[in-house]
Amino acid sequence: MNMVLDLQKKLLPDLIDILGRRYRILRYIRLMQPIGRRSLASNIEMSERVLRSEVTFLKEQGLVDFQTMGMTLTEDGQDVLAQLEVVMKEVFDVRAMEEELTAKLGVKEVHIVPGDSDDYPWVLKEMGRSTVNVIKRHLLPEKNTIAVTGGRSIANVADMLIPDTDLKETLFVPARGGLGEQVENQANTICATMARKAMGRYRLLHVPDQLGRDAYESLIYDPIIKEILELIRSSTMVVHGIGEAMAMAERRNSSDEVLEKLKETEAVAEAFGYYFNADGEIVHKVLTIGLQLEDLKNIPTVISVAGGRTKANAIRAYLKRNPNQVLITDEGAAKEMLTKL
């Protein structure tokens, strides 16, 4: 197939452009269906005239259905898109990027979604869909416990979950306490959403993410908190995001002293309450209740979900410290990392 694609790129470059355009249309309809033509054109930055021609062709092929509420994919459209996703990884050299990043980052697996979530927020949903597929592949035969953090990337993973018999008996737990941010991005909310959509079970951790020493000491010995922490630490899988250091410090309402320290130490990444510089060294640690870095060594599968070219440095820095993972990212972050590796 690689030889055919190489020949097409050289002899029929217009064909590749058309294929890519129709692929983007089908992907976005799947994500947002039912969706109107004007909204679709705006979101994929395509003129309504060009889009009208394309969706008419897709309808004639039986891939798209027009309804009063908007356009939806037909069953054939779903099947064609699933097959097209495999082909498009070769067309856009995504497969080669995945292999190169896997080797250079030293991780177990890298899965790259086409697009850049910095420019197109819907790419986050595609990362969520990819993450769900990876989660299912890494489930143990029985007694799965999945710990999840908060944040937009993981919220999109929850959005992409659908009822599945493989996940029916799974226990979902929050990996961290709450950050005091938007409720839909809280680990507890994401955990409950995943359990509901997957028809699994969940337990919640009703504590703040950041605590003073006295509060921390009293809470970790509370019998209920202690029991939930033991569940979290015995997870069979962790799904977490990677944050930019300063953005995460501001979300935590960190003091001016902490912000200044992060600037002086050139912190670029944050995960699990740890802040890292570009070399992957820990430069600051927040006193938190939940999973700690050392706990990850005992968990069979750890999945990092982060994308956008602006997060490339954060992803690279974190994975220098914790390479034995699966990374779900997008094309924007992948290309940026490869230019610097």
pLDDT at 15: 77
How confident is the model over 10-19, as pLDDT tens digits?
Answer: 666 677 788 8
By the 10 Å C-beta count (0-12 exposed, 13-18 middle, 19+ buried), 173 is classed as: buried
> Where does CATH 1.10.10.10 sit in the chain?
2-90
Q: Say if residue 214's pLDDT is above 70.
A: no
Tell me the pTM: 0.85
Label residue 31 by pLDDT band (50, 70, 90).
Answer: confident
Residue whose tokens read 């990212």: 329
pLDDT at 217: 64
Label residue 215 by pLDDT band (50, 70, 90).
Answer: low
Contact 232, 205 (CB under 8 A): yes
Angle at 162 between CA 156 and CA 164, to 5 degrees: 135
Label residue 288 by pLDDT band (50, 70, 90).
Answer: confident
179-200: average pLDDT: 84
- Alpha carbon distance 83, 80 (integer Å): 5
Q: Say if residue 298's pLDDT is above 80.
A: yes
How confident is the model over 101-141, as pLDDT tens digits?
Answer: 999 999 999 999 988 999 988 899 999 999 999 999 999 99
Q: Which two tokens stand for residue 306?
A: 């982060």
Q: What percent of the chain has pLDDT over 90?
A: 62
> Where does CATH 3.40.50.1360 sit in the chain?
92-340
How confident is the model over 304-333, as pLDDT tens digits?
Answer: 999 999 999 999 999 998 877 999 999 999
pLDDT at 5: 60
pLDDT at 14: 74
How confident is the model over 222-277, as pLDDT tens digits?
Answer: 788 889 999 999 999 999 999 999 999 988 888 899 999 999 999 999 999 999 99
81-102: average pLDDT: 85
Q: Say if residue 220's pLDDT is above 80.
A: no
Per-residue b or e along 227-266, where b marks 16 or more CB atoms closer than 10 Å to that residue's CB: ebbeebbebbbbbbbbbbbbebbebbebeeebeebbeebe
CATH number belonging to domain 92-340: 3.40.50.1360
- Alpha carbon distance 129, 13 (integer Å): 29
pLDDT at 115: 87
pLDDT at 42: 87
3-state secondary structure the chain: CHHHHHHHHHHCHHHHHHHHHHHHHHHHHHHHCCECHHHHHHHCCCCHHHHHHHHHHHHHCCCEEEECCEEEECHHHHHHHHHHHHHHHHHCCHHHHHHHHHHHHCCCEEEEECCCCCCCCHHHHHHHHHHHHHHHHCCCCCCCEEEECCCHHHHHHHHHCCCCHHHCCCEEEECECECCCCHHHCHHHHHHHHHHHHCCEECCCCCECCCCHHHHHHHCCCHHHHHHHHHHHCCCEEEEECEEHHHHHHHCCCCHHHHHHHHHCCEEEEECCEEEECCCCEEEECCCCECCHHHHHHCCEEEEECCCHHHHHHHHHHHHHCCCCEEEEEHHHHHHHHHHC
Strands 274-277 and 267-271: antiparallel
Q: Say if residue 160's pLDDT is above 60.
A: yes
The correct answer on CATH 3.10.310.10 for the domain covering 2-90 is: no
Q: What percent of the chain has pLDDT over 70?
A: 91
State the chain's mean pLDDT as an integer.
Answer: 89
pLDDT at 98: 94
pLDDT at 247: 93
